[in-house]
Structure 1
Amino acid sequence: MNDNKISSLYNSIAQIVVETIPEAWSKVYVYGEINEDVRTAFFFYYPESSEKPMHSHDIPSVFGVEKEEYKEKWRKLLDYLEELWYEFKNNNQEPWTNLTLIFNSEGELKIDYEYEDLSEADDYERRIIWKYKYLGRIPEDKDDREFLERYLQSFEEKENNNDQK
């Protein structure tokens, strides 16, 4: 696998995200999910003066950014993520099902690749779990909170069963 190509793609992903954010920021969490049939991505960022993350898809309405301009950047983000996915696949690496790319305004970068089968999972539920795992966000909605609690309990049970083996 070409490390220069991978590094360039990480930089391109970060750059298009930074270009999309219309204010000073401190930290960004990018979620990307790519496979043969699906391309999805979003990100949350922390404004420099806030503890509350801003969802990327809220940028047009909150900041008056033209929707078409936002969508163009979002499609570029998807293209870069897909290119990264194919770089893995075409070089006999196990293609990831989703990734989380975390970077801050100091230039530090961390990437978490996931390889779990997502075919049975619901997009909305995956987003609840991801927001909890990476942003520490507990859903306000009662049903969503109960879903998260059930998920965490089943996850803990699986971990305990694995520890006993």
Structure 2
Amino acid sequence: MEKEMNRLYREIAETVNEMIPEDWNKFYFYAQISENGGGTYFFYNTLENKQYKYSLEIPLKYQIDEDEFERKEDLLYKLSKELRNVFKENEQELWYSFTMSLESSGKFKLHYDYTNWFETEYSFSDQMIIWKYKYLGEISTDENYKALIDKYHNEFPNNPI
């Protein structure tokens, strides 16, 4: 199981690396997978610019071939689904999302979330706001965003996302 997981982590990291059109300092990859579908995205920064850039904006900003980029996005989803299936095949508790962070130095972290967000009132965009707050340190001055973060902390004090 561990060997297969390590292979998938490596393939995910290599694919994200191939999709980033510049030298990066750190990236955060997110996958949400269930029996009904899911999605993936990532954010990265550079040594020159600590602001995180969103993966879906890459083809527009850097004139990247959109079809090739989408093929790699599909591959990230497929690899993430394979990773979840490794858990299933080995009778491990199934996660609903995971976050991988990788620094250019090689420092690597993983976080699995077992909360079934599909069964909560949190929309995908709500989850992304919470995720960006937790991992990217993004703090909004918007009162609705602040209320969402407060609600999340009250309902999920162990901060699972």
TM-score for the superposition, normalised by structure 1: 0.88
* Residue 86 (structure 1) aligns with: 85
Residue 25 of structure 2 aligns to a residue in which SS? strand
Report the Cα distance in structure 2 between the residues aligned to 1:125 and 1:55, rounded to whole angstroms.
16
Alignment of 1:99-114 (within 5 A): 99-114=98-113
Q: Distance in 2 between matches of 1:150 and 1:39?
A: 24
Q: Which residue type is aligned with residue 108 of structure 2? A: L
Matched residues in 2 for 1:140 and 1:60: separation?
29
Letter in 2 for 1:29: Y
Which residue of the partner structure matches residue 12 of structure 2? 13
Which whole-Å deviations, capped at 9, do the CAs of 1:77-123 have from their partners, x for residues lacking one? 00100000000011100111100001111112110001112121310
CA distance in 2, matches of 1:114, 1:147: 19
Where do 5+ consecutive residues of structure 2 fail to align? none
Range with bigger deviation, 135-144 or 67-76: 135-144
Other-structure match for 1:44: 43
Deviation at 1:141, TM superposition (A): 4.1
Which has more radius of gyration?
Answer: 1
1:124 aligned residue: 125
Contact 1:128 1:139 in 2 (8 A): no
**Corresponding letter in the other structure for 1:26:** N
Give the aligned length. Answer: 156
Task: Tell me how far apart the structure 1 counterparts of residues 67 and 143 of structure 2 sit (CA, whole Å).
Answer: 34
Question: Is the Cα contact below 8 Å between 1:47 and 1:54 reproduced in 2?
Answer: no
Shift of 1:147: 2.0
The TM-score, its normalising length taken from structure 2, stands at 0.90
Query: 1:24 and 1:47 mapped to 2: Cα distance?
Result: 6
Question: SS at the partner of 1:138?
Answer: coil
| Deviates most, 94-103 or 138-147 | 138-147
2:2 maps to which residue? 3
Q: Secondary structure at the match of 2:140?
A: coil
Question: CA-atom RMSD, angstroms?
Answer: 1.5
Alignment check: 8 A CA contact 1:85 1:96 kept: yes
